[in-house]
Amino acid sequence: MGNMSGLIKDKALGLIETVGLVGAIEACDAAAKAADVVISAAEVTDAALVTLKIFGELGAVQSAVEAGGMAASRVGQLLAAHVIANPDRNLDVIMGSSFELPHRLRTRKPMPSAAAPQKRSLASEMAEMEKMPVAQLRRFARTIPNLRIKGREISRADKETLLKEIRSALRRDE
C-alpha cells in the first residue's frame, strides 16, 4: 500500500490528460475553482502528455474533472478525462507524492497535559511542515477540520499563509 493511505479511501479519483502544459494548467485551474478537491499531481510523460490526478468526494471530483476537461478543450489540449468512483486502496501509490500526516494528526490522541511537551510537539510538527512543498502543504491543510480557510482559499494560499492558518488551527485543537 502507498504512503497516502487513507486519503484516497472512500474518495473518487479523477484523471485529466492533456497534450502539453497549457492545457494542463487550464484544466488544473478550472478543476480547483469548480469544487473542493485535491489536485495531487501533474505527471508529465513522453510526447508532452500531462496527467492531472485529482481526488475528493465523488460529486466534487466529477464537477472538477468536467470543468477541467472543458477548459483544456477550449485551448485544444484535452486527450482524456475520467473519474473512478471508489478506487482500490492500492491506487494511492499513483497519487503523486510522499504525503504523510504528522504523527499527532494521524493518531488524533490527546497530548499529555504538561505544557512543555505540547509546545515542543507543535514546534517540531511546524518545523516538519515548513519543509513541505506548497502543494503538499495544501493537501495537508485540507485534512484539518477546524482550519479557517477552505476550498479555493487553500488552493490559492501561499506557503506562509498556509503555515499560519495550520499553526492557528493546531493551537485551537490542543
Does the structure show a pLDDT above 70 at 6? no
Q: Whole-prediction pTM value?
A: 0.53
Three cell numbers written together for 70: 472543458
Domain regions of the chain by residue span: 12-94, 103-173
Count of C-beta atoms within a 10 Å radius of residue 101: 17
Does the structure show a pLDDT above 90 at 121? no
Which residue has cell 460529486? 59
Three cell numbers written together for 116: 512543555
Does the structure show a pLDDT above 60 at 149? yes
CA proximity to 52, closest of 20, 27, 85, 16: 16
Residues ≥6 apart with Cβ < 8 Å to 164: none
| CATH placement of domain 12-94 | 3.30.70.1710
Alpha-carbon distance 92 to 6, whole Å?
8
Render pLDDT for 47-105 as a digit per residue (tens, 0 to 9): 788 899 888 899 999 999 999 999 999 998 899 999 998 887 666 666 544 444 444 44
Question: 71 to each of 28, 85, 142, how far by Cα in Å?
Answer: 9, 22, 24
Render pLDDT for 150-166 as a digit per residue (tens, 0 to 9): 877 888 888 889 888 88
Residues ≥6 apart with Cβ < 8 Å to 5: 89, 92
